[in-house]
Structure 1
Amino acid sequence: MDKTESKEVVLRGIGGAPGICIGKAYLVDREGVDLIKRYAIVDRDIPAEVNRFKNAVKKAKDELKAVVESLGEDFSSQVDILETHLVLFKDKLLYGKTIDSITQDKINAEWALKKVTRQVKTMFQRMEDDYLKSRVADISQVSEQIMRQLMGAQDIKISDIRMRVILVAHDLSPADTSQIQLEHIKGFVTDRGGRDSHTSIIAKSLNIPAVTGLGTATVNVQNDDILIVDGSTGQLIINPEEDTLFRYEERRAQYEQYRALITRESHLPSVTLDGHAMKLMANIELVEEVVSVRDNVAHGVGLFRTEFIYIDQKRFPTEDELFDRYKEAVELITPQPVTIRTLDINGDKVLPYFKNIGEENPALGLRAVRFSLQRPEIFLTQIRAILRAAAFGNIRLLIPMITCVEEIIEVKELLNRAIMDLTREEMVFNKDIPLGIMIEVPSAAIMADELAKYVDFFSIGTNDLIQYSLAIDRNNRQVAHLYRPLNPAVLRLIKMVVDAAHRQNIIVTICGEMAGDPLNVPVLMGLGFTELSMNPGSIPVIKQVIRKLNYQDVCKTAKKVLGMDNTEEIYQFVHSTYTETLQ
């Protein structure tokens, strides 16, 4: 952090989404619940402190009861979990011991609850019985609900914000970012996250500037501070001096003029100087983003992340609810394709109403297709809805995080089961839709030749492929700088997948954030891609880059890059070769 003699403070993080915004800070940091202080209480105040704790328990319990009552009979598993939580509110180990601690230790309710929760969790973690161990997650969740009531903390409700502000948070979950309304949120900054973290992906999709991985933004920023967010350089300036403000106002105006220019050219084709055509498709998370897909003249939707339809609910959506959303998207895009990826949760996306076992490393746990295969009733509901929507337009079905042939076989068995059930029920649907898999783990890249025999197309998810190949958590600011798409190991894995797809005559596209970075485009084209999918806002920029390239030249570039063994050397070579093209 750099400080001048004035109050201006500059923090440096990671550019999450390009652009510049200037405005007032709005803190939505939920970390305050963890900032619990201990203080002693005198004898005469003990009854009042106990009552304060009991009232907090009652309020938390009443809130949970309301959720339980809102769930229908079809969601018995969720109801069972929540009813277990209701019982825990009065559990002697948690409720009784907290009251004992307030009374005997003469301490405030927050500290007593924190102390008892830690003791109870430790006790259960030491037990050999797996069921009892699993109660640790329940205890933590119930304790947090009570703590929020004690401290007067509220869940973040970004959708309720009615001012033009810049969000400042320790982190933003998928549920949080899905609430962002562009008329109120200018941009955001977070302590956590990296260039291709989920928050960055959302910011790019919404075309709002973002800086992530700042580390101490929530400590240094106060509500209503004036902020400058430079998502291109990864800088956050707090309470800028007058000349700094003037300089960034000019830069912001220049950037907006540039965006307006390339947007006006969106209708122009993505064809190289020597006539090589590229298809540019869009990644979306919400049906509402289809407008942006059309505005940026994409060749369809290369990735429809379906998790947000689930995240926005208080329960798993029904088949008809899913069908209505998919049908709406397909009809708006037709005749262009819409590639619908099946549910990918339990990595950085968690459903609030689904009991998570509390995995130590969810990125390597029960997520994506693993979750779907373990919960076939949820998977079949989604598959049926997709097949029904396919009767109204051009749909491609995409399965996330496939690691082996066995998983594809199991998926195809369930797909056939859905087709037979819909046929028997005389439903209107289309069974002849292309089936594809995401290549996002090294095992899938290595086995690409075999996997290609079972599917119609590959879609390379570089966000996870880079993370898993390089053993880098892209949300961890301490190692986020190592997350570099042009790493030679990553490029060789990608080349392996492209070659396997071409040998089996199937389509291969790339749908990770790597596709939306102009610097990567010459290399990706040279590796053999004819389709790229990215957030809609990136399409005009990438189109402009492609129109300046010569296909024969990029093939030579890719060949040279594949022979390099040093990441920095690759970046310097690509930068120097395409400096004028990328301007």
Structure 2
Amino acid sequence: LALDGTTGQIWVEPSEERKQELQLQSNSKDELPTEVITQDGHKIPLMANVLGEADAKFALDCGAQGIGLLRTEFLYLERLTIPSEEEQLATYQAIAEIMGTHPLTIRTLDIGGDKPIPFLNLASSDAPSARHTPEPNPFLGWRGIRQSLDCPEMLKIQLRAILRGSYGDNIKVMFPMVSSVEEVRAAKEILAEAKAELRQEGYGFNEQMPVGIMVEVPAAVTMADQLAAEVDFFSIGTNDLSQYVMAADRTNPKVAKLADALEPAVLRMIQQTVTVAHQAGIPVSVCGQLASNPVGIPILLGLGVDELSVNPPAIATVMSVISQLTINQAEMLAGEALQLDSAVGVREYIINQLDRSV
């Protein structure tokens, strides 16, 4: 057996490459640098993926420089009613207070797929599709921004709460599971309505609060140029992007191994997204598990990713790996990885190259 202490993932009879990857991760935790900076002096913003107040405090203790992904699903799960605006506001304000001036990116509700919700048989919604029924393939179904747009009042309540908490200039909002420009425009219209209501009611908020999207669907990658014109930043969710690119349900043990973010097909999608985003002048972060993988980190930096966001227990590993790299080295490793033909080949190549540089 092999255990990844960062993610909790267990392997039965792991391959030699997997053992080497986990050993590399373990070794990288031995010494924790005080700054997230490469050997050649490039500072890499390192954020945390968190679930709530306790997570936010823990993230700062671990060395996070902010929150790159606040998952808001915890506010909605295991309850029979939609959380009120005031309830959500109190939570967002509490987390913002913990973070101080550090960046805080709040993702709107991302329920569905592997995270169903009990109360979404919404009698209050006029949308015929806003009824929670079993789906044969929920990962290709009613989830993320699709669900929010079918329940506009629920989305508006959340956006009002986020706006009311945006008294500083460090809070951003991010929409998940975007697959079209129309979805982004529709979400921004609801955001504009929320702003207009708050102005009329006399509430203060950040009028220029940045708006971003999760890039986790191949359609978003191919339309990245048009999407970049609509938003202020991209955040790549490599977990979902991998399963959609590889057409492999990551919760299905028979095919989950195919949904490997180190597959060159996935890496090329990341490269395309970063290139287009930078041409449009917007930054790109990665918040999936690849961002905490010692094999994936040099590739992401080499592809030009601007920011990494990881689970708090992984921060020490990521800081250490970054401190042992130069950007030139990362660019060389990424360039070679893109030319390989499998995740196995990528993993072997990166591990061998990093071992040589130690």
TM-score norm. by structure 1 comes to 0.56
Residue type at the aligned position of 1:293? A
Task: Report the number of matched residues.
Answer: 339
Determine if the alignment matches structure 1 residue 272 to structure 2 residue 35: no
> Deviations for 1:297-344, whole angstroms, at most 9, x for unmatched residues?
211000001001111433210000000000100111020111000001
* Deviation (angstroms), 1:540: 1.0
Structure 1 residues 549 and 454: CA distance shift in structure 2, 3 A: same
Aligned to 1:475: 251
> Deviations for 1:344-385, whole angstroms, at most 9, x for unmatched residues?
111111122333211111111110100000000100000000
Q: How does 1:120-199 map to 2 (within 5 A)?
A: none
Q: For residue 76 of structure 2, give the secondary structure of its aligned residue in structure 1.
A: helix
> Deviations for 1:269-309, whole angstroms, at most 9, x for unmatched residues?
11111112111100011221011111112110000010011
Q: Take 1:258 and 1:473, find their aligned partners in 2: how far apart are those partners?
A: 31
Q: Take 1:484 and 1:277, find their aligned partners in 2: how far apart are those partners?
A: 28
Q: How does 1:371-520 map to 2 (within 5 A)?
A: 371-392=147-168, 394-520=170-296
1:397–1:434: 8 Å Cα contact kept in structure 2?
yes
1:213–1:477: 8 Å Cα contact kept in structure 2?
no
* Deviation (angstroms), 1:408: 0.8
> Deviations for 1:167-195, whole angstroms, at most 9, x for unmatched residues?
xxxxxxxxxxxxxxxxxxxxxxxxxxxxx
Aligned to 1:211: 10
Aligned to 2:315: 539
Q: Take 1:364 and 1:544, find their aligned partners in 2: how far apart are those partners?
A: 37
Aligned to 2:127: none
2:292–2:315: 8 Å Cα contact kept in structure 1?
yes
Q: Take 2:110 and 2:12, find their aligned partners in 1: how far apart are those partners?
A: 24
Q: Take 1:371 and 1:352, find their aligned partners in 2: how far apart are those partners?
A: 14
2:78–2:118: 8 Å Cα contact kept in structure 1?
no
Aligned to 1:352: 118
Determine if the alignment matches structure 1 residue 284 to structure 2 residue 56: no
Aligned to 1:41: none
Structure 1 residues 310 and 212: CA distance shift in structure 2, 3 A: farther
Aligned to 1:305: 71
Q: For residue 165 of structure 2, give the secondary structure of its aligned residue in structure 1.
A: helix
Residue type at the aligned position of 1:322? Q
Q: Take 1:572 and 1:455, find their aligned partners in 2: how far apart are those partners?
A: 37
Structure 1 residues 430 and 212: CA distance shift in structure 2, 3 A: farther
Structure 1 residues 292 and 353: CA distance shift in structure 2, 3 A: same
Q: Take 2:140 and 2:256, find their aligned partners in 1: how far apart are those partners?
A: 18
Structure 1 or 2, whichever has the larger Rg, is 1
* Deviation (angstroms), 1:431: 2.4
* Deviation (angstroms), 1:482: 2.0
Structure 1 residues 505 and 393: CA distance shift in structure 2, 3 A: closer
Residue type at the aligned position of 1:292? F
1:331–1:392: 8 Å Cα contact kept in structure 2?
no
Q: Take 2:97 and 2:12, find their aligned partners in 1: how far apart are those partners?
A: 39
Q: For residue 355 of structure 2, give the secondary structure of its aligned residue in structure 1.
A: coil
Q: Take 2:235 and 2:99, find their aligned partners in 1: how far apart are those partners?
A: 20
* Deviation (angstroms), 1:429: 2.1
Q: Take 1:563 and 1:396, find their aligned partners in 2: how far apart are those partners?
A: 36
452-461 or 292-301: which moved more? Answer: 292-301
Aligned to 2:102: 336
Structure 1 residues 332 and 312: CA distance shift in structure 2, 3 A: farther
Q: Take 2:95 and 2:356, find their aligned partners in 1: how far apart are those partners?
A: 38
Q: For residue 261 of structure 2, give the secondary structure of its aligned residue in structure 1.
A: coil
Identity across the alignment (%): 39
Q: Take 2:80 and 2:184, find their aligned partners in 1: how far apart are those partners?
A: 30
Q: Take 2:138 and 2:258, find their aligned partners in 1: how far apart are those partners?
A: 21
1:323–1:385: 8 Å Cα contact kept in structure 2?
yes
Q: For residue 118 of structure 2, give the secondary structure of its aligned residue in structure 1.
A: coil
Q: How does 1:564-575 map to 2 (within 5 A)?
A: 564-575=340-351
- Uncovered stretches (5+) of structure 1, i.e. residues with no partner: 1-11, 19-202, 215-231, 234-250
Aligned to 1:316: 82
* Deviation (angstroms), 1:542: 0.9
Residue type at the aligned position of 2:10? V
* Deviation (angstroms), 1:391: 1.1
Q: Take 2:339 and 2:71, find their aligned partners in 1: how far apart are those partners?
A: 35
Residue type at the aligned position of 1:328? A
Aligned to 2:124: none
> Deviations for 1:435-481, whole angstroms, at most 9, x for unmatched residues?
00000000000111111001000000001000100011111112222
Q: Take 2:212 and 2:28, find their aligned partners in 1: how far apart are those partners?
A: 37
- Uncovered stretches (5+) of structure 2, i.e. residues with no partner: 122-131
Q: For residue 347 of structure 1, give the secondary structure of its aligned residue in structure 2.
A: coil
> Deviations for 1:217-256, whole angstroms, at most 9, x for unmatched residues?
xxxxxxxxxxxxxxx96xxxxxxxxxxxxxxxxx9xxx7x
1:327–1:392: 8 Å Cα contact kept in structure 2?
no
Runs of 4+ displaced beyond 3 Å = none
> Deviations for 1:369-406, whole angstroms, at most 9, x for unmatched residues?
00000000100000000000111562110000110111
352-361 or 395-404: which moved more? Answer: 352-361
